[in-house]
A = this chain, B = another copy of it.
Amino acid sequence: MVRRFAAAALLVSASPLLAQAMPPPDKVAQLRDAAHEGDQYAWEITEGLTTEVGPRLAGTEAEERARNWAVAKLRQMGFANVRVESFDMPVWTRGNESAEILAPFPQPMVVTALGNSASTGPGGVTGEIVAFDSVDALQAAPDQAVKGKIVFVDHRMPATQDGSSYGQFGAPRRQAPTIASLKGAIAIVIRSIGTDHHRNPHTGAMSFADGAAPIPAGALTLPDAEQLNRILKRGRPVKMKLVLESQQLGNRASGNVIAEVPGQDPSLPPILVSCHLDSWDQGTGAIDDAAGCGIATAAAKRIMDAGRPLRTIRIVWFGAEEVGLLGGFAYRAKHGKEPHYALIESDFGADRIWKVDSKLGEGRRAEAVAIGKALAPLGIVTGSFERAGGSDIGPMLADGLPGVGLNQDGTRYFDIHHTPDDTLDKVDPAQLRQNVAAWTAVVAILSGGIEEPKARKTR
Protein backbone atom coordinates (compact mmCIF):
# COMPACT_ATOMS: atom_id res chain seq x y z
CA MET A 1 0.00 0.00 0.00
CA VAL A 2 2.77 2.42 0.89
CA ARG A 3 4.47 1.68 -2.37
CA ARG A 4 1.35 2.28 -4.38
CA PHE A 5 0.70 5.58 -2.64
CA ALA A 6 4.23 6.73 -3.21
CA ALA A 7 4.00 5.91 -6.88
CA ALA A 8 0.74 7.81 -7.25
CA ALA A 9 2.15 10.79 -5.45
CA LEU A 10 5.17 10.80 -7.71
CA LEU A 11 2.97 10.62 -10.78
CA VAL A 12 1.07 13.68 -9.68
CA SER A 13 4.17 15.65 -8.92
CA ALA A 14 5.99 14.66 -12.07
CA SER A 15 3.13 15.06 -14.45
CA PRO A 16 3.14 18.82 -14.97
CA LEU A 17 6.80 18.78 -15.95
CA LEU A 18 6.47 16.02 -18.50
CA ALA A 19 2.97 16.43 -19.80
CA GLN A 20 4.01 18.70 -22.61
CA ALA A 21 6.73 16.30 -23.73
CA MET A 22 4.44 13.26 -23.96
CA PRO A 23 1.81 12.98 -26.64
CA PRO A 24 -1.73 12.89 -25.17
CA PRO A 25 -2.90 9.38 -24.18
CA ASP A 26 -5.60 9.30 -26.84
CA LYS A 27 -3.04 10.03 -29.51
CA VAL A 28 -0.87 7.20 -28.20
CA ALA A 29 -3.88 4.89 -28.11
CA GLN A 30 -4.77 5.79 -31.65
CA LEU A 31 -1.26 5.03 -32.91
CA ARG A 32 -1.20 1.79 -30.90
CA ASP A 33 -4.55 0.57 -32.20
CA ALA A 34 -3.77 1.41 -35.80
CA ALA A 35 -0.61 -0.67 -35.55
CA HIS A 36 -2.45 -3.51 -33.86
CA GLU A 37 -5.07 -3.62 -36.56
CA GLY A 38 -3.09 -3.11 -39.66
CA ASP A 39 0.68 -2.95 -39.42
CA GLN A 40 2.36 -4.36 -42.49
CA TYR A 41 5.83 -2.87 -42.07
CA ALA A 42 7.09 -5.46 -39.59
CA TRP A 43 5.91 -8.34 -41.74
CA GLU A 44 7.41 -6.78 -44.88
CA ILE A 45 10.81 -6.47 -43.22
CA THR A 46 10.66 -9.94 -41.67
CA GLU A 47 9.48 -11.58 -44.88
CA GLY A 48 11.84 -9.59 -47.06
CA LEU A 49 15.01 -10.13 -45.08
CA THR A 50 14.40 -13.85 -44.52
CA THR A 51 13.41 -14.44 -48.14
CA GLU A 52 15.82 -12.24 -50.05
CA VAL A 53 18.83 -12.86 -47.84
CA GLY A 54 18.00 -15.87 -45.68
CA PRO A 55 20.72 -17.06 -43.29
CA ARG A 56 23.27 -14.35 -42.47
CA LEU A 57 26.08 -15.58 -40.25
CA ALA A 58 28.10 -12.78 -38.67
CA GLY A 59 31.16 -11.69 -40.59
CA THR A 60 30.32 -13.65 -43.73
CA GLU A 61 29.42 -12.52 -47.21
CA ALA A 62 25.79 -13.33 -46.34
CA GLU A 63 25.80 -10.80 -43.50
CA GLU A 64 27.24 -8.25 -45.91
CA ARG A 65 24.36 -8.91 -48.31
CA ALA A 66 22.04 -8.44 -45.36
CA ARG A 67 23.60 -5.04 -44.56
CA ASN A 68 23.16 -3.98 -48.16
CA TRP A 69 19.56 -5.15 -48.05
CA ALA A 70 19.01 -3.27 -44.80
CA VAL A 71 20.48 -0.02 -46.10
CA ALA A 72 18.33 -0.16 -49.24
CA LYS A 73 15.20 -1.02 -47.24
CA LEU A 74 15.67 1.67 -44.60
CA ARG A 75 16.29 4.30 -47.28
CA GLN A 76 13.29 3.16 -49.25
CA MET A 77 11.14 3.49 -46.11
CA GLY A 78 12.19 7.14 -45.86
CA PHE A 79 14.49 7.12 -42.87
CA ALA A 80 17.31 9.66 -42.61
CA ASN A 81 21.04 9.23 -42.00
CA VAL A 82 21.09 5.61 -43.13
CA ARG A 83 24.62 4.32 -42.69
CA VAL A 84 26.78 1.37 -41.72
CA GLU A 85 29.25 1.55 -38.85
CA SER A 86 31.73 -1.23 -39.56
CA PHE A 87 33.89 -3.26 -37.22
CA ASP A 88 36.14 -6.28 -37.57
CA MET A 89 35.55 -9.66 -35.98
CA PRO A 90 36.93 -13.20 -36.00
CA VAL A 91 34.79 -15.51 -38.12
CA TRP A 92 34.04 -19.20 -37.53
CA THR A 93 32.15 -21.24 -40.09
CA ARG A 94 30.51 -24.65 -40.05
CA GLY A 95 31.47 -27.57 -42.31
CA ASN A 96 30.26 -31.16 -42.70
CA GLU A 97 28.89 -32.66 -39.54
CA SER A 98 27.58 -36.04 -38.50
CA ALA A 99 27.46 -38.37 -35.52
CA GLU A 100 27.16 -42.10 -35.44
CA ILE A 101 26.85 -44.65 -32.66
CA LEU A 102 29.26 -47.44 -33.60
CA ALA A 103 28.51 -49.74 -30.66
CA PRO A 104 26.57 -51.36 -29.11
CA PHE A 105 23.65 -50.34 -31.36
CA PRO A 106 24.97 -48.81 -34.60
CA GLN A 107 22.88 -45.89 -35.81
CA PRO A 108 23.25 -42.32 -37.00
CA MET A 109 22.51 -39.32 -34.79
CA VAL A 110 21.82 -35.70 -35.66
CA VAL A 111 24.37 -33.22 -34.38
CA THR A 112 25.54 -29.70 -35.11
CA ALA A 113 28.70 -27.90 -34.09
CA LEU A 114 28.60 -25.14 -31.50
CA GLY A 115 30.14 -21.88 -32.59
CA ASN A 116 33.93 -21.93 -32.18
CA SER A 117 34.04 -25.73 -32.00
CA ALA A 118 37.39 -27.14 -33.04
CA SER A 119 37.29 -29.17 -36.22
CA THR A 120 37.51 -32.94 -36.09
CA GLY A 121 38.83 -32.91 -39.61
CA PRO A 122 37.07 -34.96 -42.28
CA GLY A 123 37.97 -38.26 -40.62
CA GLY A 124 36.21 -37.35 -37.38
CA VAL A 125 37.07 -38.54 -33.90
CA THR A 126 35.97 -41.80 -32.35
CA GLY A 127 35.70 -42.47 -28.66
CA GLU A 128 33.74 -43.85 -25.79
CA ILE A 129 30.95 -41.72 -24.35
CA VAL A 130 31.13 -40.61 -20.73
CA ALA A 131 27.85 -39.06 -19.63
CA PHE A 132 26.98 -36.43 -17.03
CA ASP A 133 23.58 -35.07 -16.14
CA SER A 134 24.85 -31.60 -15.36
CA VAL A 135 27.85 -29.33 -15.64
CA ASP A 136 28.39 -29.72 -11.91
CA ALA A 137 28.65 -33.49 -12.30
CA LEU A 138 31.20 -33.05 -15.09
CA GLN A 139 33.12 -30.57 -12.96
CA ALA A 140 33.16 -33.01 -10.05
CA ALA A 141 34.39 -35.96 -12.11
CA PRO A 142 38.03 -37.03 -11.79
CA ASP A 143 40.08 -36.22 -14.89
CA GLN A 144 40.72 -39.93 -15.26
CA ALA A 145 37.04 -40.58 -15.97
CA VAL A 146 37.01 -38.06 -18.82
CA LYS A 147 40.45 -38.25 -20.39
CA GLY A 148 40.45 -39.58 -23.95
CA LYS A 149 36.65 -39.82 -24.07
CA ILE A 150 33.76 -37.98 -25.64
CA VAL A 151 31.86 -36.15 -22.92
CA PHE A 152 28.06 -36.06 -23.07
CA VAL A 153 26.27 -33.49 -20.91
CA ASP A 154 22.55 -34.07 -20.66
CA HIS A 155 21.26 -31.08 -18.80
CA ARG A 156 17.54 -30.42 -19.45
CA MET A 157 16.10 -26.97 -19.95
CA PRO A 158 12.42 -26.31 -19.17
CA ALA A 159 10.40 -23.78 -21.15
CA THR A 160 9.59 -20.55 -19.31
CA GLN A 161 7.51 -17.55 -20.32
CA ASP A 162 10.23 -15.10 -19.37
CA GLY A 163 13.08 -17.10 -20.88
CA SER A 164 14.95 -17.18 -17.60
CA SER A 165 15.70 -20.89 -18.01
CA TYR A 166 18.14 -20.05 -20.80
CA GLY A 167 20.50 -18.27 -18.46
CA GLN A 168 20.48 -21.04 -15.91
CA PHE A 169 20.31 -24.07 -18.17
CA GLY A 170 22.59 -22.83 -20.93
CA ALA A 171 25.67 -23.77 -18.94
CA PRO A 172 26.40 -26.99 -20.86
CA ARG A 173 26.92 -24.93 -23.98
CA ARG A 174 28.84 -22.09 -22.41
CA GLN A 175 30.94 -23.81 -19.75
CA ALA A 176 31.09 -27.54 -20.36
CA PRO A 177 33.37 -27.48 -23.44
CA THR A 178 36.07 -25.71 -21.46
CA ILE A 179 35.74 -28.07 -18.50
CA ALA A 180 35.79 -31.12 -20.77
CA SER A 181 38.87 -29.83 -22.57
CA LEU A 182 40.73 -29.16 -19.32
CA LYS A 183 39.97 -32.69 -18.16
CA GLY A 184 41.39 -34.17 -21.36
CA ALA A 185 38.23 -35.07 -23.28
CA ILE A 186 38.70 -35.54 -27.02
CA ALA A 187 35.30 -33.98 -27.81
CA ILE A 188 32.01 -33.03 -26.22
CA VAL A 189 28.38 -33.35 -27.22
CA ILE A 190 25.57 -31.77 -25.25
CA ARG A 191 21.82 -32.11 -25.25
CA SER A 192 20.71 -29.12 -27.30
CA ILE A 193 19.80 -26.09 -25.23
CA GLY A 194 16.21 -26.20 -26.38
CA THR A 195 12.71 -27.26 -25.44
CA ASP A 196 11.39 -28.98 -28.57
CA HIS A 197 11.45 -32.59 -29.72
CA HIS A 198 12.49 -32.28 -33.33
CA ARG A 199 15.59 -33.56 -35.06
CA ASN A 200 16.89 -30.03 -35.40
CA PRO A 201 19.90 -29.36 -33.19
CA HIS A 202 20.39 -26.01 -31.46
CA THR A 203 23.70 -24.32 -32.13
CA GLY A 204 24.98 -21.25 -30.30
CA ALA A 205 28.06 -19.34 -29.32
CA MET A 206 30.67 -20.88 -27.09
CA SER A 207 34.29 -20.07 -26.44
CA PHE A 208 37.10 -21.84 -24.69
CA ALA A 209 38.56 -20.16 -21.65
CA ASP A 210 42.25 -19.33 -21.57
CA GLY A 211 44.31 -22.44 -21.16
CA ALA A 212 41.66 -24.78 -22.54
CA ALA A 213 42.64 -26.15 -25.93
CA PRO A 214 39.68 -26.04 -28.32
CA ILE A 215 38.07 -29.46 -28.81
CA PRO A 216 35.21 -30.45 -31.12
CA ALA A 217 31.94 -29.45 -29.45
CA GLY A 218 28.51 -30.27 -30.75
CA ALA A 219 24.85 -30.34 -29.79
CA LEU A 220 22.63 -33.38 -30.29
CA THR A 221 18.94 -32.87 -30.91
CA LEU A 222 16.70 -33.61 -27.95
CA PRO A 223 15.39 -36.85 -29.47
CA ASP A 224 19.00 -37.93 -30.09
CA ALA A 225 20.09 -37.02 -26.56
CA GLU A 226 17.22 -39.07 -25.16
CA GLN A 227 18.15 -41.94 -27.49
CA LEU A 228 21.77 -41.78 -26.35
CA ASN A 229 20.53 -41.91 -22.78
CA ARG A 230 18.46 -44.99 -23.45
CA ILE A 231 21.44 -46.64 -25.11
CA LEU A 232 23.69 -45.75 -22.19
CA LYS A 233 21.15 -47.18 -19.74
CA ARG A 234 21.72 -50.63 -21.27
CA GLY A 235 25.03 -50.50 -19.42
CA ARG A 236 27.42 -51.40 -22.22
CA PRO A 237 30.23 -49.13 -23.42
CA VAL A 238 28.95 -46.72 -26.06
CA LYS A 239 31.26 -45.72 -28.88
CA MET A 240 30.57 -42.66 -31.03
CA LYS A 241 32.13 -41.35 -34.20
CA LEU A 242 31.82 -37.60 -34.44
CA VAL A 243 32.55 -35.47 -37.51
CA LEU A 244 32.43 -31.71 -36.93
CA GLU A 245 34.36 -29.91 -39.62
CA SER A 246 34.67 -26.20 -39.24
CA GLN A 247 37.00 -23.33 -39.96
CA GLN A 248 38.32 -20.24 -38.25
CA LEU A 249 38.58 -17.70 -41.07
CA GLY A 250 40.36 -14.93 -39.17
CA ASN A 251 39.15 -11.33 -39.07
CA ARG A 252 36.41 -10.13 -41.40
CA ALA A 253 34.12 -7.10 -41.52
CA SER A 254 30.78 -6.84 -39.81
CA GLY A 255 28.77 -3.73 -39.06
CA ASN A 256 25.80 -2.02 -37.45
CA VAL A 257 23.20 -0.55 -39.77
CA ILE A 258 21.82 2.72 -38.42
CA ALA A 259 18.96 4.98 -39.54
CA GLU A 260 17.09 7.83 -37.95
CA VAL A 261 13.85 9.70 -37.63
CA PRO A 262 15.24 13.16 -36.90
CA GLY A 263 13.61 14.84 -33.92
CA GLN A 264 12.32 18.40 -33.72
CA ASP A 265 15.12 19.13 -31.30
CA PRO A 266 18.37 17.50 -32.44
CA SER A 267 20.09 18.61 -29.22
CA LEU A 268 17.98 16.13 -27.19
CA PRO A 269 19.33 12.60 -26.62
CA PRO A 270 17.90 10.02 -29.03
CA ILE A 271 15.74 7.00 -28.32
CA LEU A 272 17.52 3.92 -29.57
CA VAL A 273 15.25 1.18 -31.00
CA SER A 274 17.11 -1.91 -31.97
CA CYS A 275 17.41 -5.55 -33.02
CA HIS A 276 20.15 -7.61 -34.58
CA LEU A 277 20.67 -8.25 -38.26
CA ASP A 278 22.91 -11.32 -38.18
CA SER A 279 21.54 -14.81 -37.63
CA TRP A 280 22.77 -18.32 -37.14
CA ASP A 281 23.51 -20.14 -40.36
CA GLN A 282 20.99 -22.97 -40.53
CA GLY A 283 17.65 -21.20 -40.33
CA THR A 284 16.71 -17.94 -41.99
CA GLY A 285 16.76 -16.08 -38.67
CA ALA A 286 13.07 -15.21 -38.71
CA ILE A 287 12.34 -15.15 -34.99
CA ASP A 288 16.02 -14.45 -34.27
CA ASP A 289 15.98 -11.72 -35.22
CA ALA A 290 14.44 -10.51 -38.48
CA ALA A 291 11.15 -10.11 -36.63
CA GLY A 292 12.87 -7.91 -34.03
CA CYS A 293 14.14 -5.62 -36.78
CA GLY A 294 10.65 -5.59 -38.24
CA ILE A 295 9.05 -4.66 -34.91
CA ALA A 296 11.50 -1.92 -33.89
CA THR A 297 11.59 -0.40 -37.35
CA ALA A 298 7.84 -0.55 -37.88
CA ALA A 299 7.31 1.39 -34.66
CA ALA A 300 9.76 4.10 -35.75
CA LYS A 301 8.16 4.24 -39.18
CA ARG A 302 4.66 4.59 -37.75
CA ILE A 303 5.75 7.52 -35.56
CA MET A 304 7.50 9.09 -38.56
CA ASP A 305 4.33 8.69 -40.63
CA ALA A 306 2.35 10.41 -37.87
CA GLY A 307 4.59 13.45 -37.70
CA ARG A 308 7.91 14.68 -36.38
CA PRO A 309 8.75 13.48 -32.86
CA LEU A 310 10.34 15.80 -30.34
CA ARG A 311 13.36 13.52 -29.95
CA THR A 312 15.33 11.69 -32.61
CA ILE A 313 14.52 8.01 -32.95
CA ARG A 314 17.64 6.07 -33.83
CA ILE A 315 17.18 2.62 -35.34
CA VAL A 316 20.10 0.22 -34.96
CA TRP A 317 20.22 -3.20 -36.59
CA PHE A 318 23.22 -4.61 -34.76
CA GLY A 319 25.69 -6.90 -36.54
CA ALA A 320 27.29 -9.99 -35.06
CA GLU A 321 25.03 -10.38 -32.03
CA GLU A 322 24.99 -14.17 -32.08
CA VAL A 323 28.70 -14.57 -31.74
CA GLY A 324 29.09 -12.39 -28.66
CA LEU A 325 27.13 -9.10 -28.87
CA LEU A 326 29.92 -7.69 -31.03
CA GLY A 327 27.71 -5.09 -32.68
CA GLY A 328 26.48 -3.95 -29.29
CA PHE A 329 30.01 -3.61 -27.99
CA ALA A 330 31.10 -1.74 -31.15
CA TYR A 331 28.20 0.72 -30.74
CA ARG A 332 29.00 1.12 -27.06
CA ALA A 333 32.67 1.82 -27.81
CA LYS A 334 31.68 4.55 -30.28
CA HIS A 335 28.51 6.02 -28.71
CA GLY A 336 28.20 4.59 -25.23
CA LYS A 337 29.31 7.80 -23.52
CA GLU A 338 26.76 9.88 -25.40
CA PRO A 339 23.45 10.49 -23.63
CA HIS A 340 20.55 8.32 -24.78
CA TYR A 341 16.97 8.96 -23.71
CA ALA A 342 16.15 5.24 -23.71
CA LEU A 343 17.42 2.00 -25.19
CA ILE A 344 15.03 -0.72 -26.38
CA GLU A 345 15.74 -3.94 -28.21
CA SER A 346 13.54 -6.65 -29.67
CA ASP A 347 15.40 -9.96 -29.67
CA PHE A 348 13.21 -12.66 -28.24
CA GLY A 349 11.08 -13.82 -31.13
CA ALA A 350 7.79 -12.56 -32.39
CA ASP A 351 5.28 -13.91 -29.91
CA ARG A 352 3.15 -11.45 -27.97
CA ILE A 353 4.54 -9.08 -25.42
CA TRP A 354 3.27 -10.02 -21.98
CA LYS A 355 5.16 -7.71 -19.61
CA VAL A 356 6.85 -4.35 -19.73
CA ASP A 357 9.76 -3.45 -17.50
CA SER A 358 11.58 -0.16 -17.47
CA LYS A 359 14.48 1.55 -15.86
CA LEU A 360 14.15 5.20 -16.77
CA GLY A 361 15.33 6.70 -13.50
CA GLU A 362 13.50 8.26 -10.56
CA GLY A 363 12.58 11.54 -12.19
CA ARG A 364 10.83 9.74 -15.02
CA ARG A 365 8.30 7.57 -13.26
CA ALA A 366 5.46 9.37 -15.06
CA GLU A 367 6.70 8.08 -18.37
CA ALA A 368 7.04 4.56 -17.02
CA VAL A 369 3.52 4.71 -15.63
CA ALA A 370 2.17 6.15 -18.86
CA ILE A 371 3.80 3.27 -20.73
CA GLY A 372 2.13 0.73 -18.45
CA LYS A 373 -1.27 2.36 -18.93
CA ALA A 374 -0.86 2.53 -22.69
CA LEU A 375 0.09 -1.15 -22.91
CA ALA A 376 -2.53 -2.60 -20.54
CA PRO A 377 -5.21 -2.80 -23.27
CA LEU A 378 -2.85 -5.09 -25.21
CA GLY A 379 -2.85 -7.52 -22.28
CA ILE A 380 0.56 -6.41 -21.09
CA VAL A 381 1.42 -6.48 -17.41
CA THR A 382 3.49 -3.71 -15.88
CA GLY A 383 6.52 -5.28 -14.29
CA SER A 384 9.53 -3.64 -12.71
CA PHE A 385 10.44 0.06 -12.79
CA GLU A 386 14.00 -0.87 -11.91
CA ARG A 387 14.94 -3.18 -14.75
CA ALA A 388 15.32 -3.22 -18.50
CA GLY A 389 16.84 -5.85 -20.72
CA GLY A 390 18.18 -6.58 -24.15
CA SER A 391 21.03 -8.47 -25.73
CA ASP A 392 23.17 -5.91 -27.59
CA ILE A 393 22.01 -3.07 -25.39
CA GLY A 394 22.68 -5.12 -22.24
CA PRO A 395 26.19 -3.78 -21.61
CA MET A 396 25.01 -0.18 -22.05
CA LEU A 397 22.06 -0.76 -19.72
CA ALA A 398 24.56 -2.15 -17.24
CA ASP A 399 26.56 1.04 -17.70
CA GLY A 400 23.49 2.91 -16.46
CA LEU A 401 21.79 4.11 -19.62
CA PRO A 402 17.98 4.16 -19.31
CA GLY A 403 15.88 1.54 -21.08
CA VAL A 404 12.59 -0.24 -21.53
CA GLY A 405 12.12 -4.01 -21.69
CA LEU A 406 9.20 -5.19 -23.78
CA ASN A 407 9.15 -8.85 -22.81
CA GLN A 408 7.88 -11.29 -25.37
CA ASP A 409 6.34 -14.60 -24.47
CA GLY A 410 9.20 -17.08 -24.56
CA THR A 411 7.22 -20.26 -24.02
CA ARG A 412 7.95 -21.63 -27.49
CA TYR A 413 11.02 -19.52 -28.27
CA PHE A 414 13.51 -22.23 -27.35
CA ASP A 415 11.68 -24.76 -29.49
CA ILE A 416 13.08 -22.90 -32.48
CA HIS A 417 16.03 -20.82 -31.27
CA HIS A 418 19.29 -21.40 -33.16
CA THR A 419 17.90 -24.29 -35.20
CA PRO A 420 17.24 -24.83 -38.91
CA ASP A 421 13.60 -24.40 -37.93
CA ASP A 422 13.93 -20.66 -37.42
CA THR A 423 11.96 -19.80 -40.55
CA LEU A 424 9.22 -17.35 -41.48
CA ASP A 425 6.34 -19.74 -40.88
CA LYS A 426 7.15 -19.56 -37.14
CA VAL A 427 6.17 -15.88 -37.06
CA ASP A 428 2.50 -15.34 -36.26
CA PRO A 429 1.38 -12.14 -38.05
CA ALA A 430 -1.23 -11.32 -35.38
CA GLN A 431 1.27 -11.56 -32.53
CA LEU A 432 3.79 -9.63 -34.59
CA ARG A 433 1.26 -6.78 -34.88
CA GLN A 434 0.71 -6.86 -31.11
CA ASN A 435 4.44 -6.31 -30.73
CA VAL A 436 4.39 -3.39 -33.14
CA ALA A 437 1.39 -1.89 -31.35
CA ALA A 438 3.21 -2.03 -28.01
CA TRP A 439 6.42 -0.66 -29.44
CA THR A 440 4.61 2.13 -31.25
CA ALA A 441 2.95 3.22 -28.01
CA VAL A 442 6.23 3.13 -26.10
CA VAL A 443 8.20 4.96 -28.76
CA ALA A 444 5.44 7.55 -29.08
CA ILE A 445 5.54 8.23 -25.34
CA LEU A 446 9.32 8.36 -25.16
CA SER A 447 9.98 10.32 -28.30
CA GLY A 448 7.82 13.16 -27.06
CA GLY A 449 5.10 15.32 -28.57
CA ILE A 450 4.60 14.54 -32.20
CA GLU A 451 4.37 17.52 -34.52
CA GLU A 452 1.84 16.64 -37.17
CA PRO A 453 2.89 17.22 -40.78
CA LYS A 454 2.09 20.79 -41.74
CA ALA A 455 1.26 20.35 -45.37
CA ARG A 456 -0.32 16.94 -45.59
CA LYS A 457 -2.05 16.63 -48.92
CA THR A 458 -5.23 14.70 -49.32
CA ARG A 459 -6.36 13.60 -52.71
A105 & B54 in contact (Cβ 8 Å cutoff): yes
Contact A199 B421 (CB under 8 A): yes
Complex contact A51–B227 (CB within 8 A): yes
Give the shortest distance, in Å, between A235 (CB) and chain B (any CB). Answer: 13
Distance, CA A223 to CA B62, complexed state (A): 20
Question: Nearest CB to that of A108 among chain B residues?
Answer: B55
- Residues on the B chain within 8 Å of A420, using CB: 110, 199
Residues in chain B near residue A107, CB distance under 8 A = 53-55, 62, 284
A4 to chain B, nearest CB (A): 45
The verdict on A426 contacting chain B, using a C-beta distance below 8 Å, is: yes
Contacts of A199 in B (CB 8 A): 200, 282-283, 419-421, 423
Q: Which residues of B contact A253 (CB under 8 A)?
A: none
For A50, what are the chain B residues with a Cβ–Cβ distance below 8 Å? 227
| The residue from B200, B222, B231, B284 contacting A227, defined by CB atoms under 8 A apart | B284
Q: How far is the CA of A22 from the CA of B239 in the complex (A)?
A: 52
Which residues in B have their C-beta under 8 angstroms from that of A459?
Answer: none
A124 CB → nearest B CB, Å = 15
Whether a CB of chain B sits under 8 angstroms from the CB of A198 is: yes
Contact residues in B for A105 (Cβ distance below 8 Å): 51-54
In the assembled complex, the CB of A15 is this many whole angstroms from the nearest CB of chain B, namely 48
Instruction: Considering the complex, give the chain B residue whose CB is closest to the CB of A196.
Output: B198
- State the number of copies, please: 2
Asked whether any CB of chain B lies closer than 8 Å to the CB of A278, the reply is no
Residues 62-113 of A at the B interface (beta carbon under 8 Å): 62, 101, 105-108, 110
Distance between Cα atoms of A108 and B62 in the complex (Å): 11
Task: Annotate A179-199 by CB proximity to B: 1 below 8 A, 0 otherwise.
Answer: 000000000000000000111
Q: How far is the CA of A222 from the CA of B105 in the complex (A)?
A: 32
Is A322 an interface residue when CB atoms closer than 8 A count as contact? no
A133 contacts partner chain B, Cβ-Cβ < 8 Å: no
| A423, B222: Cα distance in complex, Å | 10
> Is A226 positioned at the interface, with any CB of B under 8 Å from its CB?
yes
B200 in contact with A200 (CB, 8 Å) = yes
In the assembled complex, A367 has its CB within 8 A of some CB on chain B = no
A289 at the interface (CB under 8 A from B): no
Chain B residue numbers with a CB within 8 Å of A282 are: 199
The distance from the CB of A402 to the nearest CB of chain B, in whole angstroms, is 39
Q: Does A26 contact B (CB under 8 A)?
A: no
Alpha-carbon gap, A157 to B283, bound state (A): 23
What CA separation (Å) do A110 and B112 show in the bound complex?
15
Q: Does B230 contact A425, Cβ atoms closer than 8 Å?
A: no
Return the chain B residue nearest A52 by Cβ.
B105
Q: Does A47 sit at the interface, judged by CB under 8 A?
A: yes
Smallest beta-carbon distance A14→chain B, Å = 48
Residue of B nearest to A101 (CB): B54
- Are A424 and B52 interface neighbours, CB within 8 A? no
A262-288 residues at the B interface, CB under 8 angstroms: 282-284
Q: Is the CB of A227 within 8 A of B197?
A: no
What is the chain B residue whose CB lies nearest that of A53? B105
Q: Mark A36-72, 1 if CB is under 8 A from B, else 0.
A: 0000000000010011111100000010000000000
Bound CA span A198–B107, Å:
22
Chain B residues contacting A419 (CB-CB under 8 Å) are: 199
Least distance between A230 CB and chain B CB atoms (Å):
5
A-B contacts besides A51-B227, A199-B200, 6 pairs, CB < 8 Å: A51-B234, A54-B101, A54-B106, A198-B421, A223-B421, A227-B284
In the complex, 7 of the A-B residue pairs with CB atoms within 8 angstroms, ordered by the A residue number, are A47-B230, A55-B108, A107-B284, A197-B425, A198-B198, A199-B419, A227-B424
